[in-house]
Structure 1
Amino acid sequence: MEEKQMKVVMYPWFAMGHAIPFMHLANILAEKGHKVTLLLPNKSKLVVESLNLYPSIVTLHTITVPTVHPLPPGTETTSDIPFHLETHLATALDLFRPEFESIIAKLQPNVVFYDFAYWIPEALAASGSKAKCVSYWVVSAAGMAMTVIPFREPSKINENLCIAGGVSVPPGYPMSSSMPIVMDDAKVRSFLYMPYGEGVTFYHRIANSLKGSDTVIVKTYGEIEGKYCDYLSTQYNNKPVLPLLLLPKPKEAKLEPRLAEWLSRFEPGTVVFCAFGSQVVLDVAQFQEILLGFEMTRLPFLVAFKPPTGCATVEEAFPEGFKERVGERGVVTGDWVQQPQILAHPSVGCFVSHCGWGSIWESLMSKNKIVLIPQQPEQVFFSKFLAEELKLVVEVERGEDGTWVSKESLCASVISMMDQDSEISSLIKKNHENLRNKLVDPGFMHGETDRFIKHLKALVIGR
């Protein structure tokens, strides 16, 4: 088996935050000589094709996303729609199944990687394929082990286990005593049990994906989250749950001239960069409050947000007089930006993020201070985990309702991190540097890759 080329098919969820890490995984496999076919909508393909390091053996197969009402014409990824329409995009993901089965029959792969397409193990079995199924997740293992396990099965929920102000904790969950349970139980349930496709909830989509797989891989660092991977394994009949942290270096792509020129105006480590990813859409009031918070810092800042609800552009939602007061000190854009290149720019010193898992690892690989404003229930958990247990970041405090971020709290968090003499800034800088030094060590990435390939080959040959 050592010399045999494996054939791999990948079918990730229709979101850039999934397509890109699947592409990175494809490169790792291709580097070892294995042939990969990655099934992607055209919009995803256009973004990731520049990341394809082995085009001779990594095929980006363009798929047509099935039309589902009420998705707008041309919808292909989560970036094209507001969150409440994602359930219909999940339906489109599932409607692709017949074409997927035809592709499998033609390619006869040894392994299939997937995430949200929970039906893939069943489809492979029905078609007589002997391919192994790998469920690949670009999220926190701690969050998965807390939420998408049999304990959360609606029929098994025990109201008596709920902790006031928090969320029920699964028996045996490896939480440290210093880490409070911070997820709101009602919000977690609302998120887990919302429809996410025709006749399936978000919880069942993920749980069934894990349950049907031969092995589970989580993009995380074993030294930090290995115990949560082990716990997740115990919840799914002790199947392998492998932490795998693939952190490709930013491609040697130049930052677009407009932003490069603007950033070069400022001293090293003085610019605050903020980005909330391609899915977060704020309401106008919160959008304006966050911009006012950056204005209050008196630091140069670059903000990349999607236009807020009801607005076609970010400019039309600016607070009154904001542009005139800020002048050239601040840039706010609604366009996609080159996040890795911006984080690597010497003028940037602080990154304010929504706590998307991909963005977290990109920022931890950089030298920037990190401030978090989580947007989803599981991101709230990730944020507390990183801030209170690992002490790698600072989270912005919210108002009494647990949702509103004031300009004052945002400003205070940023200033606390940018103040080189503050106690919290010094502690977090030390912890971040220690972690980053481990991650950038070439031996670490080689070890992760070798362990992953060895595991995959053993899975395929059955020992």
Structure 2
Amino acid sequence: MESKFHAFMFPWFAFGHMIPFLHLANKLAEKGHRVTLLLPKKAQKQLEHHNLFPDSIVFHPLTIPPVNGLPAGAETTSDISISMGKFLSEALNLTRDQVEAAVRALRPDIIFFDFAHWIPELAEEHMIKSVSYMIVSATDIAHTLVPGGALGVPPPGYPSSKVLFRENDAHTLVTLSIFYERLYHRITTGFKSCDVIALRTCKEMEGKFCNYISRQYNKKVLLTGPMLPEPDTSKPLEERWSQFLSKYPPGSVVFCALGSQIVLEKDQFQELCLGMEMTGLPFLVALKPPRGSSTIQEGLPEGFEERVKGRGVVWGGWVQQPLILSHPSVGCFVNHCGPGAIWECLMSNCQMVLIPFLSDQVLFTRLMTEEFEVAVEVSREKTGWFSKESLSDAIKSVMDKDSDIGKLVRSNHAKLKEVLVSPGLLDGYVDNLVEALVDLINVKKHD
């Protein structure tokens, strides 16, 4: 009889981190384990609907301490601009007493964390095991989070690969330098001092990078598989979108979404809209209003709405992304190459066009475009931005079933999807993970 454990989870205060941690919590709860998720108070409301096992997964509220520079009431990255991240990091560190009090009161067996590099030390004091669980791609970690690399340059022994930065990636190297300054030390400290590293990926996609990370840190690396959310069949696709999409033949609509963090400058936003218009294809774009505009309408190019009426929609609110991707009319997904978006797309029949913004997205994009050849990257100007022509060309190249690139990405995508949906693959990852965690906890008990 396999022993059941109680896991604590303490993710970075961003929905892009808290939601994947909760997906993992659901998989552990499904196997009979208990999970306590440490979260900022306000975030709980927005995450409740992702909790599929409320009897086994408990949300433990944290009070975000005041920090100079952090706006009052800000609790997650959604409440602040990217430049204020350092103040939220400081607030995360100041919750240490609350985390320790919860550990003392609830006595978990194991604790998962990502940016809170002091967790392993706290865990050791209380004789519990610590897992550094990273949700970004293994490709990115192998390139940027292994000692010995430099800004944009892979470290010694990096697996031979086409997954590299290029000259026109200067814009993302700026975000990478901010990342290095703020997070490099925290994450590598966490890797060095935790008991085990866990990554949200599978060996079929990133095996060589996982092995490399394991060798560099001399640590066991556990893989969770892609950790996709269960499809929510309780809610059908909103009427407005199902009506719009159903007007078009199978595989003919272009869907574009760039994740919750990306807010474009007005000129970039307009270029993107014009690029979609230039394709001549029906499209649905879900984006936040550009900087300086309070609504989508304010940001649109002149005359745009009239010209695309009935064929194209630009929407500023939330949409049911997985349901849109699985709609038969949608044939292409233009996205920022966030890991969650990529996994969702690989499991669908949509072709991928990628516009990466952050450093981890750039490397994951290269994995998709150069190694697996299942997607096309929108080429950039020297300024680091793309033109409406380059966006339109990329979309048309994958949507044209008879073009060489269209044939190549379709065939490769179909092969990779077949591997990923093969029976038992994803469940096998969860079973192996649970087995390894139980062994890890039992080692502690017998020490």
Q: SS of 1:85's equivalent?
A: helix
| 8 Å Cα contact 1:182/1:381 also seen in 2 | no
Structure 2 contact 143–153 (Cα < 8 Å) conserved = no
Distance verdict in 2 for CA 1:183–1:224, change over 3 Å: farther
Return the offset for 1:446.
2.1
Does the CA-based 8 Å contact 2:147-2:155 persist in structure 1?
A: no
2:245 pairs with 236, 246, 263, which one? Answer: 263
Give the distance between the partners of 1:100 and 1:110, measured in 2 at CA.
14
Shift in alpha-carbon separation, 1:185–1:368, aligned structure 2, 3 A? closer
Find the aligned partners of 1:417 and 1:195 in 2 and give their Cα distance. Answer: 33
Shift of the 404–194 alpha-carbon distance from structure 1 to 2, 3 Å rule, reads closer
Provide closer, same or farther for how the CA distance between residues 51 and 144 of structure 1 changes in structure 2, counting only shifts above 3 A: same
| Residue of structure 2 in register with 1:175 after alignment | 160
> Secondary structure of the equivalent of 1:172?
coil
Match of 2:133 in 1: 136
Residue 359 of structure 1 corresponds to 341
Q: Aligned runs of 1:21-420 on 2, under 5 Å?
A: 21-125=20-124, 128-152=125-149, 167-176=152-161, 181-182=165-166, 190-194=174-178, 201-236=182-217, 238-245=218-225, 246-252=227-233, 253-401=235-383, 403-420=384-401
2:413 is the counterpart of 1:435 = no
Amino acid at match of 1:312: S
Quickly say closer, same or farther: Cα 1:359–1:201, change in 2 above 3 A.
same
Range 253-262 or range 306-315, more displaced: 253-262
In 2, the alpha carbon distance for the partners of 1:383 and 1:54 equals 34
CA offset at residue 189 of structure 1?
Answer: 6.5
DSSP-derived class of the 1:462 partner: helix
Is residue 374–residue 383 contact of structure 1 (8 Å, CA) maintained in 2? Answer: yes
Count of aligned residue pairs for this structure pair: 442
Deviation for aligned residue 1:81: 1.9
- Residue identity matched to 1:240: K
| Correspondence 1:2-17 to 2 at 5 A | 2-17=1-16
Q: Residues 106 and 193 from structure 1, CA distance in 2 versus in 1: closer, same or farther, beyond 3 angstroms?
A: farther
Secondary structure of 2:424 counterpart: helix
Following TM superposition, by how much is the alpha carbon of 1:195 offset from its aligned partner in structure 2, in angstroms? 7.2
Q: Percent identity?
A: 49
Question: In the alignment, is the contact (CA less than 8 A) between 2:378 and 2:391 conserved in 1?
Answer: yes
What's the C-alpha RMSD, in Å, of the aligned pairs? 2.0
Q: Which amino acid in structure 2 is aligned with residue 449 of structure 1?
A: V
Q: Is the 8 A contact 1:369 1:418 kept in 2?
A: yes
Given that residues 416 and 425 in structure 1 are in contact (C-alpha distance below 8 angstroms), is that contact kept between their aligned partners in structure 2? yes
Change (3 A) 1:192 1:318: closer
Judged with a 3 Å threshold, the aligned counterparts in structure 2 of structure 1 residues 437 and 385 are, in CA distance, closer, same or farther, namely: same
Is contact 2:140-2:363 (8 Å) kept? yes
Q: What's the secondary structure of 1:230's corresponding residue?
A: helix
Q: Report if aligned partners of 1:192, 1:201 keep a CA contact under 8 Å in 2.
A: no
The 8 Å contact of residues 270 and 300 in structure 1, kept in 2 or not, is answered as yes
Comparing 436-445 and 24-33, the one that deviates more: 436-445
The answer to whether the Cα contact below 8 Å between 2:168 and 2:382 also exists between their aligned partners in 1 is no
Amino acid at match of 2:113: Y
Q: How far apart are the structure 2 equivalents of 1:37 and 1:180?
A: 38
Q: Does the aligned pair in 1 maintain the 2:154–2:164 contact within 8 Å?
A: no
Alpha-carbon distance between aligned partners in 2 of 1:335 and 1:24, rounded to the nearest angstrom: 23
> What is the one-letter code of the residue matched to 1:71?
L
- 1:436 deviation in Å? 1.0
The CA distance in 1 between the partners of 2:29 and 2:179, in whole Å, is: 36
Does the 8 Å CA contact 1:226/1:243 hold for their aligned counterparts? no
Q: How far, CA to CA, are the matches of 1:449 and 1:400 in structure 2?
A: 43
Evaluate the alpha carbon distance shift between residue 183 and residue 17 of structure 1 in structure 2; reply closer, same or farther with a 3 A threshold: farther
Tell me by how many angstroms 1:364 deviates. Answer: 0.9
In the TM superposition, residue 319 of structure 1 has moved relative to its aligned partner by: 0.4
Q: Deviations over 1:225-255 (max 9, x none)?
A: 111111111221x111123212343221322
Deviations 1:331-372 (A, max 9, x none): 112212211111111121110001111111111111100000
8 Å contact 2:136–2:360 — kept in the other structure?
no
CA distance in 1, matches of 2:285, 2:189: 38
Find the residue that maps to 1:229 and give its secondary structure: helix
| Letter of the structure 2 residue corresponding to residue 251 of structure 1 | D
Deviation per residue, 1:130-189 (Å, 9 max, x gap) = 11101111111111111111114xxxx6xxxx9xxxx4332111123x555437797677
The answer to whether the 8 A contact 2:165-2:362 is kept is no
Separation in 2, partners of 1:34, 1:229: 26
Deviation of 1:258 (Å): 2.2
8 A contact 1:38–1:61 mirrored in 2: yes
Is residue 200–residue 223 contact of structure 2 (8 Å, CA) maintained in 1?
yes
Aligned match of 2:432: 451
CA contact (8 A) 2:144 2:154 kept: no
Change (3 A) 1:259 1:69: farther
